[in-house]
């Protein structure tokens, strides 16, 4: 059966040294880790995207912003859900004094009133924190792909330089003439690591850029959903009537208290400075 490898690569592997096999083994390990992360990340992002679309549709069809929170619906793979749940827990705490919906949640919500803009700021902080955590989950383990992308060419170059040095060292030791037949096995073996390093780095680079673009787009959509959710909660539950407070008058503040000075600087002024001017 014919080999799927090119004749030059097959010839180099047949004459490989121990150093070449070690570097090839490290490159193979990097490739396996990189492809495992790439495939798992691809399926995860696809699943999260579908879950986000499903949750966003349910949220926009709900009667009020806390309806899904009241029903205790759980969407494990939806980043929108985690942002929504964090905001609703904070909102329920300020409205009702509890962060989980109980049996009387709907009845108590009817007479809960509204919260202040400063309390709404705490709700927005909870959403921002949840967005940051969701972004970190989406970007998790991408450093392994970046390591394969950046490290594989240098490992291949290291193997090539090492192999060429070994080849010339053997020629010097054995005293052989430097003809093509003598140099070919060593140089071909040395170039194998560079080829394998590029074969690991090139797919990693393409997939890494594609995944980074997908993650960046998802993070932007997370921010947009958080803004939409914040606007909905603000319109429904925030009271802005008391946002402009009247500043107190200067008279209401009272007279400022001036501390007495101590030491030589607090001594009375010379009497001559208080005396009436002398007429000529």
Task: Evaluate whether residue 255 is within a structural domain.
Answer: no
Task: Evaluate whether residue 82 is within a structural domain.
Answer: yes
pLDDT recorded at residue 100:
81
The β-bridge partners of 238 are 115
Averaged over successive runs of 10 residues, the pLDDT of the chain (280 residues) comes to: 57 72 91 96 96 94 88 89 94 85 79 84 94 94 93 91 80 63 72 89 95 96 95 88 53 48 45 43
Give residue 260's Cα distance to chain centre. 56
pLDDT recorded at residue 264:
46
Q: Please return the burial class of 84, using the count of CB atoms within 10 Å of its CB with bins 0-12, 13-18 and 19+.
A: buried
Task: Evaluate whether residue 188 is within a structural domain.
Answer: yes
What crossing angle do the helices spanning 142-174 and 18-61 adopt, rounded to 10°?
170
* Ramachandran angles phi, psi of 139, nearest 5°: -90, 0
Q: What is the DSSP code (8-state) at residue 266?
A: G
Q: What is the DSSP code (8-state) at residue 263?
A: S
pTM for the whole thing? 0.74
SS3 of 121-150: HHHHHHHHHHHHHHHHHHHCCHHHHHHHHH
Task: Evaluate whether residue 279 is within a structural domain.
Answer: no
Task: Evaluate whether residue 271 is within a structural domain.
Answer: no
Task: Evaluate whether residue 215 is within a structural domain.
Answer: yes
CA distance 279 to 195: 108
pLDDT recorded at residue 181:
64
Determine the structural domain holding residue 11 and report its residue range: 7-237
Residues 6 or more apart from 226 whose CB is under 8 A from it? 83, 87, 127, 128, 130, 131
Task: Evaluate whether residue 257 is within a structural domain.
Answer: no
Task: Evaluate whether residue 270 is within a structural domain.
Answer: no
Q: How many domains does the chain have?
A: 1
Q: Please return the burial class of 255, using the count of CB atoms within 10 Å of its CB with bins 0-12, 13-18 and 19+.
A: exposed
SS3 content of the chain, % helix, strand, coil (to 5): 75, 0, 25
């Amino acid at each position: 059966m014919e080999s799927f490898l090119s004749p030059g690569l097959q010839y180099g592997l047949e004459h490989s040294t121990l150093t070449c096999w070690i570097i090839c083994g490290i490159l193979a390990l990097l490739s396996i880790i990189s492809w495992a992360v790439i495939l798992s990340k691809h399926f995860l992002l696809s699943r999260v995207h579908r879950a986000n679309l499903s949750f966003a549709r349910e949220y926009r069809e709900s009667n009020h912003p806390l309806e899904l929170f009241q029903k205790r619906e759980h969407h494990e793979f939806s980043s929108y859900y985690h942002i929504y749940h964090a905001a609703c827990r904070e909102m329920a705490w300020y409205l009702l004094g509890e962060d989980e919906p109980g049996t009387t949640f709907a009845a108590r919500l009817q007479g809960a009133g509204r919260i202040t803009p400063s309390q709404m700021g705490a709700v927005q902080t909870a959403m921002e924190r949840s967005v940051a955590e969701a972004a970190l989950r989406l970007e998790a383990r991408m450093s392994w792909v970046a390591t394969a992308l950046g490290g594989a060419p240098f490992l291949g170059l290291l193997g090539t330089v090492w192999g060429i040095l070994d080849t010339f060292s053997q020629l010097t030791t054995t005293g052989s003439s430097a003809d093509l037949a003598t140099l070919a096995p060593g140089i071909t073996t040395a170039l194998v690591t560079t080829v394998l390093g590029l074969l690991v780095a090139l797919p990693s680079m393409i997939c890494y850029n594609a995944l980074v673009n997908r993650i960046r787009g998802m993070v932007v959509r997370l921010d947009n959903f958080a803004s939409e959710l914040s606007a909905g909660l603000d319109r429904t539950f925030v009271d802005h009537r008391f946002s402009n407070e009247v500043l107190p008058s200067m008279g209401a503040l009272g007279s400022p208290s001036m501390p007495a000075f101590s030491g030589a600087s607090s001594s009375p002024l010379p009497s001559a400075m208080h005396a009436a001017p002398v007429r000529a």
